[in-house]
């Protein structure tokens, strides 16, 4: 984004908003757009039957296991991922939390959804390297995408949505983000 269209995310006391609104270059102040999980509760852990339906064992037997592929998983949380490293998740994973006000360790918080998504990706491509990015807002998402591009990921996987934040016609800030990732050789899958 150029300076004229730059966005920042800041946490302000309510009585400071009026003063910040008078700063030169400030054109709009609003709450950030927050991600919404399409399936907010996974309940208990389940075993997927999708690998058999995809005939994954045949792909794996032929050597197609994702070796050398880097996959970024963007979600609202990765509860329990640490206990799965080396079993249901690869031995080496890079994680990053982009949620303001949280500590890096809080990537293991909020929801199991991201962990489940990462497990499925690992089941399908056990040779791939995984990068887990926790987000909550559209600004967090932009920061996560920038980080994943710096890690030279080949694929970005998101299972999140944002309601009523784009025109719905394939344009807007999210379409621009995806197009930019694609221009950097990244396949974005939602």
* Per-residue pLDDT reduced to its tens digit, 138-156: 999 999 999 999 999 999 9
Distance CA 76, CA 169 (A): 25
Does 43 score more than 70 pLDDT?
no
Determine phi and psi for 167, rounding to 5 degrees.
-65, -20
* Of 30, 21, 33, 25, residue with least CA distance to 177: 33
Other C-beta atoms closer than 10 Å to the C-beta of 52 total 9
- The residue written with tokens 């300076």 in the block is 3
- Higher local confidence (pLDDT), 103 or 36: 103
* Per-residue pLDDT reduced to its tens digit, 120-129: 999 999 999 9
pLDDT attached to residue 47: 57
- DSSP E strands in the chain: the ranges are 36-37, 70-75, 93-97, 129-134, 155-158, 160-161, 187-189
Q: DSSP 3-state assignment of 135?
A: coil
Does 46 score more than 70 pLDDT?
no
> Rounded to an integer, what is the distance from CA 111 to the centroid of its chain?
13
pTM over 0.85: no
């Amino acid at each position: 984004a150029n300076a004229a269209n730059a966005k920042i995310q800041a946490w302000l006391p309510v009585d400071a908003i009026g003063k910040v609104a008078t700063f030169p270059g400030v054109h709009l102040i609003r709450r950030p757009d927050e991600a919404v999980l399409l399936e907010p509760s996974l309940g208990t852990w389940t075993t997927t039957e999708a690998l058999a339906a995809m005939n994954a064992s045949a792909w794996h037997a032929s050597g197609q296991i994702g070796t050398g592929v880097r996959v970024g998983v963007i979600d609202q949380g990765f509860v329990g991922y640490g206990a799965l490293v080396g079993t249901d998740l690869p031995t080496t994973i890079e994680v990053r939390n982009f949620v303001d006000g949280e500590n890096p360790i809080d990537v293991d918080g909020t929801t199991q959804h991201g962990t489940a998504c990462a497990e499925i990706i690992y089941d399908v491509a056990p040779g791939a390297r995984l990068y887990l990015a926790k987000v909550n807002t559209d600004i967090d998402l932009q920061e996560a995408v920038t980080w994943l591009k710096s890690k030279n990921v080949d694929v970005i996987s998101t299972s999140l949505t944002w309601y009523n934040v784009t025109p719905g016609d394939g344009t807007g800030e999210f379409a621009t983000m995806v197009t930019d990732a694609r221009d950097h050789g990244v396949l974005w899958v939602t």
